[in-house]
Structure formats: C-alpha cells, structure tokens
Structure 1
Amino acid sequence: MTPIINRSTALLLAGLAFSGHLLAEETGAPVAEPAPASMIDPAAIQSLERMGEYLRGLTAFSLRADDTVDEVLDSGQKIQLTKTVEIQARKPDRLRASVETDRKAREFFYDGKHFTLLTPETGYYATVPAPSSIRELVDEIEVKYDIEFPLVDLFRWGENPEATAEIQEAMRVGTSRIGGQLADHYAFRQDGIDWQIWIAQGPVPLPLRYVIVTTDEPGEPQYMANLTWDTQARPDDAIFVFTPGKDDRPIDIVQNSAPATPEESPK
C-alpha cells in the first residue's frame, strides 16, 4: 500500500507532468502497523474524508495553484523554485491545464476525444487519442507515456478508504486564515513525510494550502502549494480544444514498451 501522500507529491503536487498520490492504492507492499489511537485525532481523519467526498462531487471548477519547492544541492544548500498551475475542469470529459515554472512551461488539453501536450516556448505539441473520461485519461497518459497531469491527485483523492492506515500521527493545529478564508489547519505524519493541510471551514471543505516535508531525504526539502478555487466556473467547450498556431509543430509521443500501473510509473 502506498502512502496517502508521498515524496513524488512533494516534488510535483508539484507537477510538470503535478505528481504524487494523495490517495493510496494497493501495490502488494506490506501494510504498516496501525498507529496508537492516542496519536491520531479522529476528527482530523474525518476532515480529510469529508474533503475527499466534496472533491469527488465537483462537476466543474477552475483552480490556480501557486507552489514553491526546495531543490537541495549536493552541498546541502537549498534552492527554492516556484511554479504556477491553472486548471479548468468539467466532468466527465473536459480538462485544460497550464504549468509555468522558473524553468519551463507546459499546456495540457483534453476535449473528450484527444489529449494534447504543448511546449509553448518551442511550439512542439503531441496529440494522442484519449479515453472518454477525465479519470481514465489521467491514468492512461501516466501508464502509457509517463505523463502526470498537473494536480492529478485532485481527481483521485479518497478512492481508497484504507489510505489513512499509513498515517502515524494526526492532529488539528488550529484555525488559520488563508486568502481571507477561515481554514482548519491539520498536521499529519507518516513514514518519511510530515505534511500539513488547511481545509476551508463551512459547507465547502476545499483544500486551500499544503505543506509537505520529505523527512527521509537529505536536507528535508519542503513543498508548499496555495490553492485558489472557483467552483462556480462553467468553462466553454472551446478552451478544451487544442488549435495549433501557425508556428506550432507536431511531434510523436513515445509510448512505454512495458507500461507500469499508475502507482509504479516513474515520477
């Protein structure tokens, strides 16, 4: 069983291709012993479950994520990198994303029939046939092409109710204000990872901020994401359709010769 949050998420929840698995899936690995009940606040786990249920119920939304991630040099010095992700989604079969980092940019298009990945600075793009739903798409492009859709975990969160078995400590830290919204601040610990999440108070329990520290890597790099949501957005069909510019050039995507499962594909 993989963790509810893993180090891939810390590098990509940062994703040029936003990564990690905030849900757990069965992989055949040994299951960790449950943490003592005294170290886990049941209310913290319930808040995660409530948030996951709400996310799965969204039919359309737009989202901006402003991220920072530490890159630890061989000398031990930390370099902080930034990334901005913007997503428009309309279930079951429309998805668009743009990712801009200090080093590169990518755009993703899914119109229900085709998936396109564009590199704006070069004009290269690749288009492949796509399955009929967002959920199938994010798995297929990961398995076939090693492409992780930005913030992919938002489309998977809570699929496995046993994921919380990996959590060793869980507590409510208190109330915070994120972008003018009151939020409940929670802290969790599991093997190799300390992570925090801020969940909006009230009837719309959206995640507003993540902080993830990878404690078993040199320098303990930190990843942070601030999320801004619009759950009333109803994007038009046109924004999901890729239309190449006059200088854009098509290329092929090389398919994996021996595809792994989504949980096993390289990050």
Structure 2
Amino acid sequence: MIAGSLSASAPMSWAQTADEQAVPYRREVMEQALATRQQYELYGIRFDIDQAVIQPASAPLLDDIARAMANLPEWRLRIVGHTDTTGVRERNQALSLERAEAIKAALVQRGVDAGRLTASGAGQDRPVATNDTAQGRALNRRVELVRYTVSPEAQRLLRAMSDYVARQEQVSFDYDATFEIVTEAGQKLGLASSGTVALRRPDRVRATRQGGFADIEMVFDSRTFTLLGRNVNAYMQVQAAGTVDQLVDQLRERYHRPLPAADLLVSNPYDALMSEVFDSKDVGSGVIGGVECDWLAFRTEEVDWQIWIAQGERPYPVRYVITTKGLPNAPQYTIQLRNWRTGTDVATTDFTFQPPAGATSITLEQARERVSELPAHFRRGGRQP
C-alpha cells in the first residue's frame, strides 16, 4: 500500500501519482466520506515490501482513524486491503488480508475496541485503475475503509423468518424473477421469468421457470435430479441422492443452475443468508402485492442483498434482491414470491419424472447448450440482438 488521495469524490484520475494524491488529505474529508458514503479509499499507509509491517511514517494516518473512531463511538469500520496485479494472485490475496489485519491491530493499540473493527483482503480483484501503468498500480495498492452497522433487530427478524420457513414440511409458491444482464456497452437488460416451486422436506422439490427464451422444469425425487427443457423437448438426468440442502449446493457449485430462491429453501436459511455478512440494517417497512413487510438490507464483500418479510404470524419471504458489486453497473437478481402456501394448503405434487411424449435424453454438456436460460446473443461473445 502506497500513498494516495483521500478525495471523497469519484475515482481519481489515473494520470496522478499516488504521492500527488496524498497532498489534499484531511481527516475531515475522510470522516465526511465515511459519514455520507460509508466508504473511503485510503492511501498513505506504507508497508515494508511484500510484508504486513507498517512503516513508522504511517502513524499520523492511523492516529487520525483512531481519533475519528473515538469521536464517533457508534461507528464500526471494515478495513479491506487491496493490491495491484504484480506477483501471484494467491500471495496478493493473503498479503492484502495480512495488511488489513495489521491496520486493525494498530488501531486496537490506539484504543479502538476490536469489536468495532473487522479486516478483509480483496487482493487484486477490485482495481480502481488500470494495472498497465505505474500510476494505476499505485492507485490499486490501497486500503478501503467501509463504515458498517449491525442491527440486532434485522438479525432477529431474519432469524424469525428462517425458523418459520424451516419448520414447514411442505411449501409451495409462485414467483416472478428478473435477472439483469449488462451488455459490453454498459446497457442493463432485464430477463423476466415466472414459475412455481413445490418443496417437501427433506428431499423432494419441483420447480418451473418460463421466460421469453426458455421453458424449464427441474425435478428432484431424493435420488435423481432431472432438468427438462420443454421448449426443446429434451431432458438431462444426474444421480443426486440426498437432501434438498445437498442438491442446492450441488446445483450451484457443479452445474451452475441454482434453484429459484435456493437460499430461502434450505433447512437453515439464516446461516445460508448470513454467511459473510458484515453489515445489517432494519430499513423499515413496505407493502408488496398488498402484503405489509419488514424491509431488511445486508452487505457482504461480493454482494449487497435485501429481503422483504411478511409481517405477522407467517413471516415468509416476499421479495429477495441480490446486487453483485464486483461487476460493472452492479446487476441485480430479483425474485418476488406470491401465493405462499404451507402444510395442508399445498396442492398434491408428484415428484416423479415422466418424460413428455417424444422427449430426447441428452447429456450434461448438451443440456448446457440446448437447455439454457440465456439466449446465445446474451452470452459473452454472442451476437448482439
């Protein structure tokens, strides 16, 4: 991490060197940026080369951060280390975390409660400038300060939703979803779809999705997962013995085909949702489809997400929005649930699969091409519509 600007405005000019940007630094600017934008790109904390040893010249900046934390005792601060692309990615990742932890330790030594600080390393994966020039690399070697909050009420409401959903042995609902695609020109396009989900714990699920480009059905009977493309009359099957929880992980990690609202369907939604969360907010209330909801917002390093939960004795999820921060223009995935039913209100569902007349059995590789939810012109390298 080398010196740089502490401007609270838009990303800095790549033509400036990090030392030139260090000139306008003022503690008041840093505090204002954290108060208004909750985020600040910090330059000027220097380390020994390829080490997490803070050089003595960095003491004034550390003093300023500690003083700000003392003056604003309600603040919590996340310290995120960043590197340029020089060296090996794995080493950069580890070094960025080590340096963030060193800064945290230095602030604790200055009297900041360790419970108000967290440390994280982003390595080289979130540049703010080009890595093709010395100036750009200097800008990428930085410390990001993120002010965050922890809302016990938001966590309580999310826990209540999780416990309620987990208790339901049978669940069904309809949904509408929008998946945003960002073109190379920076234009956001929303792929809209609708579908149904029926779940019987611990090991049965049937889900459908109909959109402008695909008509898909997924069936799991505790032993076999089937993916059917109704619009191409072809299906793929793989062995997937286990629970719905195990299926969710397998579909996401191995086949890159997540179930609709997957994080909300597992046996412990709270743990699945809160993994890696550092910021939580109880935003207030809202009304969606005539249902009064509690509105909660959460942040992780990679994504921000929001959830609206029905108020009352049935705190079911009504809307779930995920924003991917690491991609240009921060595309979102939104799913809105309706016609929520549980127990005896759930219509009888057959979780066995019977191929439609004339349907063709295809391989996994063929399914990736033929049973896709994205048309070819939306895929990287595809032709524009």
Q: Highest relative contact order (Cα 8 Å, sep 6+), 1 or 2?
A: 1
How far apart in 1 are the matches of 2:250 and 2:334?
Answer: 27
How far apart in 2 are the matches of 1:86 and 1:217?
Answer: 29
Which moves more between the two structures, 197-206 or 207-216? 207-216
Residue 120 of structure 1, aligned match among 223, 230, 240: 230
What code does the residue aligned with 2:348 have?
Answer: D
What code does the residue aligned with 2:326 have?
Answer: D
Residue 354 of structure 2, aligned match among 210, 228, 243: 243
How far apart in 2 are the matches of 1:65 and 1:83?
Answer: 8
Matched residue of 1:55: which SS?
helix
More helix by share: 2
Q: Which residue of 1 aligns with 2:364?
A: 253
Q: Is 1:105 the counterpart of 2:215 in the alignment? A: yes
Call closer, same or farther: CA 1:84–1:242 in 2, change over 3 Å: same
How far apart in 2 are the matches of 1:143 and 1:196?
Answer: 23
Q: Which residue of 2 aligns with 1:193?
A: 303
Shift of 1:209: 0.8
Matched residue of 1:106: which SS?
strand
What code does the residue aligned with 1:251 have?
Answer: I
Which moves more between the two structures, 163-172 or 208-217? 163-172
1:174-222 deviations in Å (ceiling 9; x for gaps): 2211222111111223324332211111121111112232233211222
Q: Which residue of 1 aligns with 2:37?
A: none
Call closer, same or farther: CA 1:123–1:201 in 2, change over 3 Å: same
- Structure having the higher Rg: 2
Call closer, same or farther: CA 1:110–1:167 in 2, change over 3 Å: closer
Which moves more between the two structures, 123-132 or 75-84? 123-132
What's the C-alpha RMSD, in Å, of the aligned pairs? 3.2
How far apart in 2 are the matches of 1:247 and 1:126?
Answer: 14
Matched residue of 1:33: which SS?
strand
On the 8 A contact 1:90/1:235 being kept in 2, the answer is no
How far apart in 2 are the matches of 1:97 and 1:182?
Answer: 26
Residue 90 of structure 1, aligned match among 200, 207, 227: 200
Matched residue of 2:358: which SS?
coil
Residue 48 of structure 1, aligned match among 158, 175, 180: 158
More strand by share: 1
What code does the residue aligned with 1:33 have?
Answer: T
How far apart in 1 are the matches of 2:273 and 2:207?
Answer: 27
Call closer, same or farther: CA 1:75–1:122 in 2, change over 3 Å: same
Q: Which residue of 1 aligns with 2:59?
A: none
How far apart in 1 are the matches of 2:321 and 2:342?
Answer: 23
Shift of 1:44: 0.5
On the 8 A contact 2:172/2:198 being kept in 1, the answer is yes
What code does the residue aligned with 1:241 have?
Answer: T
Structure 1 regions of 5+ residues with no counterpart?
Answer: 1-28, 255-267
What code does the residue aligned with 1:177 have?
Answer: V
How far apart in 1 are the matches of 2:233 and 2:146?
Answer: 54
Identity of aligned residues (%): 32
Number of residue pairs matched? 227
How far apart in 1 are the matches of 2:351 and 2:173?
Answer: 15
Matched residue of 1:217: which SS?
coil
How far apart in 2 are the matches of 1:84 and 1:115?
Answer: 21
How far apart in 2 are the matches of 1:231 and 1:206?
Answer: 10
Shift of 1:143: 5.3
Q: TM-score, normalised by structure 1?
A: 0.73
